Every structure is written in structure tokens, then in C-alpha cells.
């Protein structure tokens, strides 16, 4: 779909691999021990090299669910990686709150580092089991509401790993910007 515009910031949806993105930062779907793992987390550490894990271990003692921390991007094109921790899906109303928090905290880090562009993945929708349609609605709403409050960002790219995820985010974004 055509990009959406929220104030000075464009929101794009693309299908692809977030490790290849050249935005100022990419957002990882991490765990609260910041211990690395599978999914996008494994792919980011594999592509970015050991420097990222070294910095995580040196600077942070884990990260609570619903929050995020930032490191350099190692060998990635992106200068920074934001490691966001989404909830494991449980079916409780808390899930949506924690997922929205993970996106908001990631975007706050972008603003505090004066970043202009960021790529974000579909946090919690893989190993953590969050249903894609529901996660897309929460993610898009959290990002749009954050951007409406003003930020340094000029581009947010949702990088979706497959066409099913893309379709979920597309319909969530269409619904959100209709208001």
C-alpha cells in the first residue's frame, strides 16, 4: 500500500528481512534476559556479529517485558539495534498493554537518540505466539499514537517477514489512518 503520513513521519509497510534494513535503527524482538535466541533475534545477532551481545552484557542487566534497550548495530547497516521485549501471548488483556509498551519504549529511544528512521518487526508474533491480526492492530495503533505526539522520526518501516504478516499490518494501518 502507499505510505501513510503522520505529521512529518512516513509509515511504510514492506515484506522482507529486517537485518538488511539501512534505517538508523532496527527494532529486535528480544527476551527479558537479553540472552539472544531464535527468530528475528537470532537473525540479528548472526548478521550483526558478537559486538551486539557484548554491549548488551556490559550495559544492561536484562530488560523487563514491555520495555526496550539500545545498542550499536555491529556489522549491520543500521547504526543501532533497539532490543524490545514483547509479552508471551497469554490471552489476558495485559498482553496488548505490554505489546504497545514495547513499541512505545522503542520509539522513545529513537527520539532520545534523535533518530530519523527506524525499522520495526512484528514483536511477539513468532515464538511468543501473539496472533498476527491482533498484534498488528496493537502495533499500528501504538506507533501512530506515538507519532501523533511528535518525535524526531521521519520514517517508520514495518518490516514483515511474510505475506500473511504484511496483510495483517496493511489492514490494521488502513483502519487506523481512517480515523
The binding site for ligand AR6 (CB under 6 A) comprises 17-19, 29-31, 37-41, 43, 86, 121-128, 159, 161, 165
CB of 3: closest distance to ligand AR6 in angstroms? 19
Of 24, 41, 95, 101, which residue is the catalytic one? Answer: 41
Q: Closer to ligand AR6 by CB, 8 or 33: give it.
A: 33
Q: In terms of CB distance, is 109 or 122 closer to ligand AR6?
A: 122
Please give the full DSSP string across 48-85, using - where no structure is assigned.
H-THHHHHHHHH-S---TT-EEEEE-TTSSSSEEEEEE
Spatial distance between the Cα atoms of 43 and 41, rounded to a whole number of angstroms: 5
Comparing CB distances to ligand AR6, the nearer of 7 and 100 is: 100
Q: Which of 169, 161, 167 is nearest to 143 (CA)?
A: 169
How many Å apart are CA 159 and CA 72, to the nearest integer? 19
61 is catalytic: no
Minimum CB separation of residue 51 from ligand AR6 in Å reads 18
CB contact set of 92 (below 8 Å; sequence gap of 6+): none
Name every residue whose Cβ is closer than 8 Å to that of residue 74 and which is 6 or more positions away in sequence.
48, 49, 50, 51, 52, 81
User: For ligand AR6, which is the closer residue by CB, 122 or 147?
Assistant: 122
What residues are annotated to the active site? 41
Amino acid at each position: 500500500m502507499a505510505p501513510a503520513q503522520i505529521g512529518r513521519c512516513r509509515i511504510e509497510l514492506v515484506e522482507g528481512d529486517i537485518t538488511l534494513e539501512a534505517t538508523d535503527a532496527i527494532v529486535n524482538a528480544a527476551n527479558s534476559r537479553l540472552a539472544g535466541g531464535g527468530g528475528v533475534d537470532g537473525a540479528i545477532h548472526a548478521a550483526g556479529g558478537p559486538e551486539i551481545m557484548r554491549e548488551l552484557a556490559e550495559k544492561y542487566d536484562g530488560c523487563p517485558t514491555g520495555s526496550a534497550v539500545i545498542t550499536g548495530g555491529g556489522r549491520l547497516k543500521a547504526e543501532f539495534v533497539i532490543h524490545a521485549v514483547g509479552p508471551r501471548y497469554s490471552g489476558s488483556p495485559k498482553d496488548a498493554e505490554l505489546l504497545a509498551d514495547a513499541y512505545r519504549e522503542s520509539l522513545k529511544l529513537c527520539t532520545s537518540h534523535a533518530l530519523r528512521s527506524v525499522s520495526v518487526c512484528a514483536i511477539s508474533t513468532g515464538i511468543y505466539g501473539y496472533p498476527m491480526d491482533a498484534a498488528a492492530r496493537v502495533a499500528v495503533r501504538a506507533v501512530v499514537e506515538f507519532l501523533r505526539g511528535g518525535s524526531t522520526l521521519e520514517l517508520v518501516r514495518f518490516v514483515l517477514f511474510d505475506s500473511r504478516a504484511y496483510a495483517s499490518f496493511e489492514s490494521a494501518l488502513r483502519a487506523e489512518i481512517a480515523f
